[in-house]
């Protein structure tokens, strides 16, 4: 393997120190690049431990991991690679931080010492004097839907053998710090905050799942990169945060055929101080008429709960007991 690592160093030397070739970083994780595509789009596959396809495009700050969007801290860029032998090629490069904080946690073994969760804390968003988003035309309050979803997810997870607790079990107000503090107090192994989305553009649809932004990186919606990049206590769980968010987002996209808005990063107050891995799910848009009508149907709420439970199960079952 000496020759191979020597080559890696040589290729890396033609990049800024903060970047790494996407192809080299995925090769380290067992991926091959079956057929170079047009300039600026690259696809990689591996057969084991399960077949997996990763795709990236120039100037996009997202990867597709088995068709599910996963945010990068910075967009992939096209650079000129000059191998020792052969012609120069245009290849994609990513930030080393994205290798450490996205590729490695998602595509390699779970971090040493990680254990399958036993106690899961579900956090139905809003409540009491905070209704969350209100779809007045359909008389739907986000706080009622998140509580309904939490109950349905809890039933499924308990049936699968988990111990499930909730931050609230009625129409009561809890502030955000109280919610994350409960994760510590109750010694939860996983924190799952449940929300429904809203946007000024009522055409917005789909599911997105957030986890805490890694230290040094900008959050997904931090336009202009003016926000915080500071480390938070919850960054101790960066790898598991991302694995949980990906597993749930994938289940929502495949199980519900929801429009995929991706795994995203945010320093949401409810995530920053967690003492266990945590995610925040926006399963559908309450501000979109079609999605809100479906949310008013119990059968659809059951399907959402099933997808979320399936995602949590997939996350858990990939971790050692």
Residues 46, 30 contacting (CB under 8 angstroms): yes
**Smallest distance from Zn ion to CB 54, Å:** 31
- CA-based torsion, 23, 212, 184, 129: positive or negative: negative
Outline where 82-209 has alpha helix (H). 96-98, 104-107, 142-159, 176-185
Q: Which is nearer to Zn ion, 132 or 278 (CB)?
A: 132
Strand intervals (E) in the chain: 19-21, 41-46, 52-57, 62-65, 68-71, 77-81, 89-95, 119-124, 134-135, 140-141, 163-166, 190-197, 207-212, 260-266, 278-285
| Minimum CB distance to Zn ion smaller for 209 or for 217 | 209
- Does 132 interact with Zn ion (rule: CB under 5 A)? yes
List the beta bridge partners of residue 53. Answer: 45
CB of 142 to Zn ion, least distance (A): 5
Distances (CA, A) of 283 to 108, 153, 255: 27, 13, 12
Residue number with the smallest Cβ distance to Zn ion: 195
Rounded to a whole number of angstroms, the minimum distance from the CB of residue 220 to Zn ion is: 16
Residue closer to Zn ion (CB basis): 99 or 285 = 285
Segment near Zn ion (CB under 5 A); pick from 119-127, 166-174, 232-240, 256-264: 119-127
* Strand, helix or coil for residue 78: strand
Element (DSSP H or E) covering residue 227:
none
| Minimum distance from residue 126 beta carbon to Zn ion (Å) | 6
x-marked contacts with Zn ion along 188-207 as a string, rule CB under 5 A: -------x------------
Name the burial class of residue 169, with classes exposed (0-12), middle (13-18) and buried (19+) by CB atoms within 10 angstroms of its CB.
middle
- Residue 43, CA distances (Å) to 32, 76, 164 in order: 9, 13, 39
Which residue from 236, 237, 238, 232 is spatially nearest to 269, judged by alpha carbons?
232
Nearer Cβ to Zn ion (72/150): 150
Residue 79 as a binder of Zn ion (CB under 5 A): the answer is no
Least distance between Zn ion and beta carbon 130 (Å)? 9
Nearer to Zn ion, 73 or 124 (CB): 124
Q: Is 112 exposed, middle or buried (0-12, 13-18, 19+ CB in 10 A)?
A: exposed
Closer residue to Zn ion (CB): 106 or 153: 153
Q: Closest distance between Zn ion and the C-beta of residue 282, in Å?
A: 7
Residue 127 engages Zn ion in binding (rule: CB under 5 A): no
- Contact status, residue 195 vs residue 282, Cβ threshold 8 Å: yes
Task: Please state the closest distance from residue 234 (CB atom) to Zn ion, in A.
Answer: 19
Smallest distance from Zn ion to CB 312, Å: 19
Number of residues that bind Zn ion (CB under 5 A): 3
73, 105, 124, 125: which one binds Zn ion (CB under 5 A): 125
Cα-based angle 146, 148, 154 (whole degrees, multiple of 5): 100
Which of 194/244 has CB closer to Zn ion?
194
Among the residue ranges 13-21, 127-135, 186-194, 203-211, the one whose residues contact Zn ion (CB under 5 A): 127-135
Does the protein bind Zn ion through residue 168 (CB under 5 A)? Answer: no
Binding site for Zn ion (CB under 5 A): 125, 132, 195
């Amino acid at each position: 393997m000496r020759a191979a690592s020597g080559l890696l160093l040589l290729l890396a030397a033609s990049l800024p120190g903060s970047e790494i070739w996407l192809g080299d970083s995925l090769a380290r994780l067992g991926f091959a690049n079956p057929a170079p595509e047009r300039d600026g789009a690259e696809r990689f596959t591996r057969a084991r431990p399960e077949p997996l396809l990763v795709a990236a495009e120039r100037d996009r700050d997202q990867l597709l991991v088995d068709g599910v969007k996963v945010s990068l801290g910075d967009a992939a860029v096209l650079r000129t690679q000059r191998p020792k032998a052969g012609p120069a090629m245009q290849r994609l490069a990513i930030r080393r931080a994205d290798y450490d904080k996205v590729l490695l946690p998602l595509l390699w073994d779970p971090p040493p010492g990680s254990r399958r969760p036993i106690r899961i804390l579900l956090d139905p968003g809003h409540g009491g004097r905070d209704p969350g988003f209100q779809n007045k035309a359909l008389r739907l309050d986000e706080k009622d839907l998140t509580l309904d979803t939490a109950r349905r997810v809890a039933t499924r997870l308990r049936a699968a053998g988990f111990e499930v607790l909730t931050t609230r079990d009625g129409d009561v107000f809890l502030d955000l710090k109280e919610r994350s503090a409960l994760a510590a107090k109750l010694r939860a192994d996983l924190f799952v905050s449940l929300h429904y989305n809203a946007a000024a553009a009522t055409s917005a649809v789909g599911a997105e799942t957030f986890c805490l932004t890694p230290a040094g990186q900008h959050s997904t919606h931090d336009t202009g990169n003016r926000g915080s990049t500071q480390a938070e206590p919850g960054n101790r769980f960066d790898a598991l945060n991302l694995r949980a968010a990906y597993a749930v987002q994938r289940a929502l996209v495949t199980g519900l055929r929801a429009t995929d808005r991706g795994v995203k990063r945010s320093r949401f107050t409810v995530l920053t101080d967690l003492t266990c891995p945590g995610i925040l799910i926006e399963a559908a848009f309450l501000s979109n008429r079609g999605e809100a009508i479906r949310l008013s149907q119990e059968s659809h709420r059951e399907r959402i709960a099933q997808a979320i439970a399936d995602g949590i199960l997939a996350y858990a079952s990939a971790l050692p007991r």
